[in-house]
Amino acid sequence: MHVTYGQAISDALREEMEKDENVVVFGEDVAQHGGIFGITRGLYEIFGEDRVKNTPISETSIIGVGAGAALVGLRPCIELMYSDFLLVAFSEIYHCVAKWRFMHGDQYKIPMVIRAAAGSAFGAGAEHSNCVESLFMHTPGLIIISPSTAADAKGLLKSAIRSDNPVLFFEHKQLYQVKEDIPDEEYTIPIGVADIKREGSDVTIVAIGLMVKKAMEAAEKLAAEGISAEVLDPRTIAPLDKETIRESIEKTHRAIVVEEGNKTGGIGAEIAAMMQEEMYDELDGPVLRVAALDVPLPYDVALELVCIPNADKIVETVKRLF
């Protein structure tokens, strides 16, 4: 089946709502309007207002209601529009959603998914273009997923909805209209399992979200110059599949990490530190990082493109290891 990334997410929502009447969807304009990116379009007509609800423009309330719904047995799948707005509800996510199951033992489960569109979008500006995954990596109790393909998005969202733990599900805006093949049959993808998108023998490129596409472009360019790059997509940022990363490093002995978030304190910083602490003997050089510049993203598209990683920057960085 050949579908867009956005349609794959929509299909996952519909299929899980058909399977389990406790799955509910709510967020700003998700009902009749179908959400700002059209992902929930048609769900209101199928499942009605009891299971697909619009909310006020109040992220703290949306997350708080979602946590409450999860505590009493529902499986809320919340759309929070832009991932930038997660910070408006940071206390609810950090203190309540992430911690309550741990704090209360077997009294509570928090089967709750928070979906949010992330990343640059050709001039959306500094308040609507951020990749904030790294801020939540410092929040024990959360599962963090950032799929790069339509197939991964569908399979991982279904697993996220079925999980009894809270999940942040990041969807890059530039991927919504990308069409790809996905399986026709029912499937899920396990949380916490990375995927090798391209086999290689000289260097491992660990790439997050949209940057997987950029890494694949870079790998093609590197191949033309005689460098065989392996592209590894963690898919789940927390928990991180260290074993697959280790297996790749044992083969290539060199690594870079590519993310769209800011470089300082980013995902790459954590993964690079982990590699150098736990896989040092397998490395033939430092783990390098490619990330966004440490500046608010400008509205001007030309300036925005200067700030974020691309295939050429990845190629440049890989060459520093040889």
Residues with a catalytic annotation lie at: 128
- In the chain, how many H helices and how many E strands? 12, 14
* CA distance linking residue 233 with residue 245, whole number of Å: 9
Return the closest-CA partner of residue 7 out of 147, 165, 182, 145.
182
- Tokens 């990749």 found at: 131
Q: Write down the residue that tokens 């299971």 correspond to.
A: 51
CA distance 74 to 66: 9
Number of neighbours of residue 66 by Cβ within 10 angstroms: 29
**Cα(91)–Cα(29) distance, integer angstroms:** 23
Structure tokens given for 123? 């001039």
Burial class of 15 by CB neighbour count within 10 A (0 to 12, 13 to 18, 19+): middle
